[in-house]
Amino acid sequence: MKPKYIIIIVLTILALIIALQNQGVVTFHIFFWTISMSRILMMVGFLFIGFLVGLLVAQRSKGRSSI
What's the pLDDT tens digit per position in 35-62? 898 888 888 888 889 989 998 998 888 7
Domain total for the chain?
A: 1
What's the pLDDT tens digit per position in 11-21? 889 888 887 88
d(CA 26, CA 4): 35
For residues 29-36, average pLDDT: 89
| Structural domain range at position 42 | 3-65
d(CA 39, CA 27): 9
| pTM attached to this predicted model | 0.59
d(CA 43, CA 49): 10
What is the structure's pLDDT at 65? 60
